[in-house]
Chains A and B, each alone.
Chain A
Amino acid sequence: MWHLLPRQLETLWTLFTAPVVWALHFLICYVGAAIFCEKPGFLGTDFDNLRVAIAVVTALALAMIVMSAMLAWRQWGFGTDDPPHDDPTRRDRTLFQGYATLLLSGLSFVAVIFTALPALFVTECLR
């Protein structure tokens, strides 16, 4: 299935993909909940709609983070080399970036779940 993924990207931007998804997911959840609870005429009044929307956004965010993690894993050489990858070579730079991206993806994955967790338990907003 690896041929389905884009070719390896020689850019630092892949490093930030997962944290950016985390940040956007955080904003969508919090801003969405704030608008939903403050403006009942705008997005409706059924709180379950908001919870479903957060579930969908969370699934999308997790999928994007998993995608980022898979790319990072490939860039890291599927774990064939051990860290710290600190030689001044192009190969070590690539491996280091892949490893750092993989770790950031793991952190972002957990953070997105923590951000969405309240919607699992909180069933109403009080007006």
Chain B
Amino acid sequence: MQSALDPAGEEASQVATLFWVMTIGGLVIWALVVLLSLYASRWKREPISEQAAARLIPWAGGVLPVTVLTALLAYALWLMPSLRPFADPDRAGLRVEVVGSQFWWHVAYRRPDGTSVISANEIRLPVGERVEFSLTSADMIHSFWIPALGGKMDLIPGRTNRLSLLATKAGTYRGQCAEFCGISHAHMAFPAIAMEPADFEAWLAARSRPSEGLGANQAGRGLFERERCGSCHRVDGTQAQSTAGPDLSHVGSRLTIGAGLLENDVEALERFIVHPASLKHGSRMPAYTHLSADELARIAAWLKGLQ
């Protein structure tokens, strides 16, 4: 599960440090107030002198809180610009475009050489390299959040927000929509995989070509075309080119299906295809209950083969 207190990115570790500084600062103040009230009510049990009160009130009630609050505020404000760093516009790096929809993520990797790789419901990024995200929405406000890597940023229709992340530790983390967007908001998640740069380049190069699994399980591909799945989905190297639904070009290699909903295996693919809305309420993909078990198995096998 995701945790902002187990950081694997530069921004996330600053957020975690800020959290601990504020929590410990708050606990110290709380302990002092409790000790003071215990001292007054249990040990001392008599009013202090007027002179002592005249000193205590301005110092403990005025000077101390103002000093502590100024220090904490200045620390948080000092941290602020580095929590929202932006890549140098002159230095072209990898840019990842994310478009949120009910309840899935369209992902496009724009490389510096102008080529693009289209994917969905999964984010991969190289460790140690700053990656710039362009975030927008196709329908309503969503929010893009990978707690282990950094703070969240809203996806707003008609507006492009920027977010920049630097992963420092390789691993698989969970991303989550962090703005209520409808009935399956909680099921609008994605795995975020931080990879070694060389592995990432190899992965991206493989994803820029049609899957080698296109030719296998031809019966499944035929059913995919017969059922007009390409009216909504795109599979690179075929006639299916619609972007109304998630890109399926290499769906077999993704860790999850249904945007973080199920582990990706043939059985889960079958379950999702036959009745998506029963697994993911509000999903606009129609049910395929008219397919026989054999037909379902063939389509699922073909999709799982798109590695």
- Residues of A whose CB lies within 8 Å of any CB of B are 82, 106, 110, 113-114, 117-118, 120-124, 126
Contact = CB atoms under 8 A, between A and B. Distances in A.
B86 A121 contact: no
A110 B81 contact: no
A110 B77 contact: no
A124 B82 CA distance: 12
Contacts of B62: 106
Task: State which size class the interface on B falls in.
Answer: 10 to 19
21 contacts: A82-B54, A106-B62, A110-B66, A114-B69, A114-B73, A117-B73, A117-B77, A118-B77, A118-B80, A120-B77, A121-B74, A121-B77, A121-B78, A121-B80, A121-B81, A122-B77, A122-B81, A123-B81, A124-B81, A126-B84, A126-B162
Contacts of A110: 66, 70
Nearest to B62: A106
Contacts of B74: 117, 121
Interface of B: 54, 62, 66, 69-70, 73-74, 77-78, 80-81, 84, 86, 162
Secondary structure of the A contact surface, majority rule = helix
Nearest to B75: A121
Residue of B62, B77, B78, B81 with most partner-chain A CB within 10 A: B77
Closest 4 CB pairs of A and B: A121-B77, A121-B78, A118-B77, A110-B66
A122 B86 contact: no
Contacts of B54: 82
